[in-house]
């Protein structure tokens, strides 16, 4: 009797596994291209030589540095200086840093003067004010440094990808900004979409910088580069890849011993963030491959238990758009991710939303025929969040039936929050752009792979709205 009961129970378990299917949301958004906001929507700030397009990012590996970047039309005396001080201190005790200054040309465009100041030795978990500009054109901003790294330090990241500068992009950005929880943004690539315009209209890089300034000047955006940052256009004489992006957006790549700003790492609170480049060489013996191999060995999960990776091209994607474009990188790096128990991989590129199960596909070889992803508790969750609202519109060509590796998917725009609570749990929520409010359409308590490698369960969401 006990043997028969065991067989019945085993059959029920197998049936529950084989019948498990992911969710394809019934919510439908119009697939036509989004309407881009015109250039005049974002005029330069008032004042002679006023600093503009202000944005910040972490400036070192540990969180005590900040890179402050801005643009001025003229390179006057003092226009490359940033003054900064602790918010509750006497302003007379402020400090200053001098920025490096450059400009670039692209086809028939010459940029303004691009200033990048690196501030070091900041106090942890402290609010600072900073000022740019001179005379009546002075502008003041603020930021808060992260807490010192530690396993139970709570911290909340926003997650955005493929933003662009459409009216839908505007919804995404201001929905994110309306929630006071976000402390820094993980951005998975595709910023301005200047290359979607004739001759890669570089004015769109300026308007994009003004567009995101209300957030990016006050909290760090951790940048990954996408295909729309390549800007390789030999037909108009532009053969230097990533030229506008690398000139405008500086990151602390040298602090993690990287040889390129396209791949690097930072520690922030209880998270270790690794940024990779989908559009740089990554096979064996390449700089990116060698760097990642050594970088993963440096991660101390007792200090920073949450290991998060940013790429642009997704590795697990059930959308017909860009299907399997990340396959070569997956084959190269997935065994390392499983071995090192990466918690989450965020990607963009596909202009829709999708979250995977914890799966891996690392056993395939030409003789055994094992070529399907299988559940693996040591594997990351793969999240495609290229749904920021860009000019190219929604990707709504999902494959059917929904693959077993796909847990939830929806063809609409939005952003996400990752609220790290402690060393074992983080609350992940995806917020759909619906009318005038961000609606939580997908949510999950994520369990840390190092400290609590248990299976997660999806929380209730508004997937049918």
Catalytic machinery residues: 322
Distance, in Å, from the CA atom of 102 to the CA atom of 94, rounded to the nearest integer, reads 26
Cα–Cα distance, 284 to 137 (Å, whole number): 51
Dihedral pair phi/psi, residue 136, rounded to 5°: -75, -5
Give 123-130's long-range contacts (Cβ < 8 A, gap of 24+): 123/64, 123/86, 124/63, 124/64, 124/148, 126/86, 126/87, 127/86, 127/87, 127/88, 128/84, 128/85, 128/86, 128/87, 129/84, 129/85, 129/87, 129/91, 130/68, 130/82, 130/83, 130/84, 130/85
Beta-bridge mates of residue 266: 273
In three-state secondary structure terms, 232 is coil
Helix axes 327-339, 287-298, angle to 10 degrees: 20
Tell me how far apart the alpha carbons of residues 436 and 289 are, in angstroms, rounded to a whole number. 43
371: helix, strand or coil: coil
For residues 277 and 149, what is the distance between their CA atoms, to the nearest angstrom?
A: 25
Rounded to 5°, the CA angle 154-159-161 comes to 165
- Quote helix, strand, coil % in the chain, to nearest 5: 20, 30, 50
């Amino acid at each position: 009797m006990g043997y028969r009961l065991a067989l019945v129970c085993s059959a029920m378990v197998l049936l529950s596994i084989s019948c498990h299917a992911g969710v394809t949301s019934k919510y439908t958004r119009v697939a036509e291209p989004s309407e881009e906001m015109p250039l005049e929507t974002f005029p330069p700030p008032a004042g002679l030589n006023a600093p503009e397009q202000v944005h910040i990012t972490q400036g070192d590996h540990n969180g005590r540095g900040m890179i402050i970047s801005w643009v001025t039309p003229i390179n006057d005396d003092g226009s490359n200086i940033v003054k900064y001080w602790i918010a509750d201190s006497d302003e007379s005790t402020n400090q200053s840093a001098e920025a490096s200054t450059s400009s670039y040309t692209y086809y028939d465009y010459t940029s303004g003067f691009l200033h990048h100041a690196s501030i070091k030795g900041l106090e942890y978990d402290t609010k600072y004010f900073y000022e740019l500009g001179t005379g009546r054109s002075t502008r003041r901003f603020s930021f808060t440094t992260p807490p010192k790294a530690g396993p139970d330090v709570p911290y909340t990241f926003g997650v955005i990808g493929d933003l662009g500068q459409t009216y839908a992009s505007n919804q995404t950005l201001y929905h994110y900004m309306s929630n006071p929880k976000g402390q820094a943004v993980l951005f998975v690539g595709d910023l301005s979409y200047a290359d979607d315009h004739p001759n890669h209209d570089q004015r769109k890089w300026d308007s994009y910088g003004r567009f995101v300034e209300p957030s990016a000047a006050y909290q760090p955006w951790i940048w990954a580069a996408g295909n729309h940052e390549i800007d390789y256009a030999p037909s108009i004489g532009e053969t230097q890849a990533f030229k506008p992006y690398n000139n405008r957006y500086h990151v602390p790549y040298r602090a993690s011993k990287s040889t390129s700003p396209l791949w690097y790492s930072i520690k922030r609170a209880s998270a270790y963030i690794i940024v990779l480049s989908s559009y740089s060489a990554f096979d064996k013996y390449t700089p990116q491959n060698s760097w990642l191999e050594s970088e993963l060995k440096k991660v101390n999960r007792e200090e920073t238990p949450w290991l998060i990776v940013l790429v642009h091209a997704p590795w697990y994607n059930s959308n017909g758009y860009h299907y399997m474009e990340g396959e070569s990188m997956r084959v190269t790096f997935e065994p390392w991710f499983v071995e090192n128990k990466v918690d989450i991989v965020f990607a963009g590129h596909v202009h829709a939303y999708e979250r995977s199960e914890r799966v891996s596909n690392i056993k395939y070889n030409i003789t055994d025929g094992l070529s399907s992803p299988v559940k693996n508790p040591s594997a990351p969750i793969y999240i495609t969040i290229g749904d920021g609202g860009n000019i190219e519109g929604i990707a709504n060509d999902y494959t059917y039936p929904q693959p077993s590796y796909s847990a939830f998917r929806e063809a609409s725009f939005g952003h996400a929050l990752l609220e790290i609570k402690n060393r074992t749990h983080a609350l992940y929520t995806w917020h759909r752009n619906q009318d005038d409010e961000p609606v939580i359409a997908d949510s999950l308590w994520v369990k840390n792979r190092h400290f609590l490698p248990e299976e997660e369960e999806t929380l209730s969401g508004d997937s049918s709205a």
